[in-house]
Amino acid sequence: MGKKSIDKSISISNRKARFEYELLEVFTAGIQLQGTEIKSLRAGNANLAEAYCYVQKSEVWITGMYIAEYQYGSYMNHDPKRLRKLLLNKKEINKISSALQNVGITIVPLKLYITEKGWAKIDIALAKGKKLHDKREDLKHKDDKRQMDRALKKFK
């Protein structure tokens, strides 16, 4: 049997996460998916915008992540917003749960992707919410950088 060709361009990201939160530490976790979920994910039908993670009984769960029903799935299709278990080492789970004891710390999903081996992975981060003035400052830096890049482009 030949090797399966895997599309490496499948990457669903949470673009608002870096704007809304200050990222403290990033972890890569596996994710438990059903058959129709991985097929739908390979088609690029997922959204992380409303997703968040929590720790319960030394397990990390993600909720609010939307994976659309598989187009060709029959009665065996999955629930699009079901709870999904994240697969992390015990050491990582303990580190995350101890960090969550601090006030204002949360777990935010950043990026969902498929590896070269075909495994679904998700990048999650310990994060602290930004204040309004921090967000404004980030926008200012972003605009300044864009203007500098435009100015340098004119001289090339």
What's the pLDDT score for residue 79? 67
pLDDT at 19 over 50: yes
What's the pLDDT score for residue 6? 47
What's the pLDDT score for residue 59? 92
CA distances, 52 to each of 1, 75, 84, 142 (Å): 40, 28, 11, 26
11-130 sits in which CATH class? mainly beta
d(Cα 59, Cα 93) in Å, to the nearest integer? 7
What's the pLDDT score for residue 1? 43
Lowest mean pLDDT among 5-14, 44-53, 125-134: 5-14
Rounded average pLDDT over 7-30: 82
Cβ neighbours of 69 (radius 10 Å): 14
Cβ proximity of 86 and 60 under 8 Å: yes
Q: What is the pLDDT of residues 87-145, one digit of tens each?
A: 999 999 999 999 988 888 899 999 999 888 888 899 999 998 877 777 788 888 888 88
What's the pLDDT score for residue 71? 72
Average pLDDT over the chain reads: 84
E strands within the chain?
11-13, 21-31, 46-47, 52-56, 59-63, 66-67, 84-87, 105-114, 120-129
What's the pLDDT score for residue 2? 46
